[in-house]
Amino acid sequence: MAQDDREVVPSKDDQLISTLAWFLTGAAIGVAAAILYAPKSGKETRQYISGKAQAGREAVENAGQDIAEASRDMFERGRKLVEDAADLFERGRKLVKG
């Protein structure tokens, strides 16, 4: 029984998604800590939260756009691979038939 000892290397798209997820997690933890330890009045804290929520919303929107773009790229690469495989299969079938 042959064993495949090749190392699985994550793709750039997987790394991008992982990085974005860790960034958003860190941002949420940072915001929570800042709110808990903020020496500001209620009004100032609400304004701060509002500003950070807007920044977070924009970050999530940008991340979503990046993920959508990466997904479209992966789909196109997959479609191209399927087309190439179908072409190779057809050429092989013609060679076998003679």
pTM attached to this predicted model: 0.45
Interval 69-79: pLDDT, tens: 888 889 999 99
pLDDT at 1: 45
Q: What is the mean pLDDT of the chain?
A: 82
Interval 26-56: pLDDT, tens: 888 887 887 777 677 778 878 888 888 898 8
Long-range contacts of 10-18 (CB under 8 A, 24+ apart): 13/70, 13/73, 13/74, 16/66, 16/67, 16/70, 17/67, 17/70
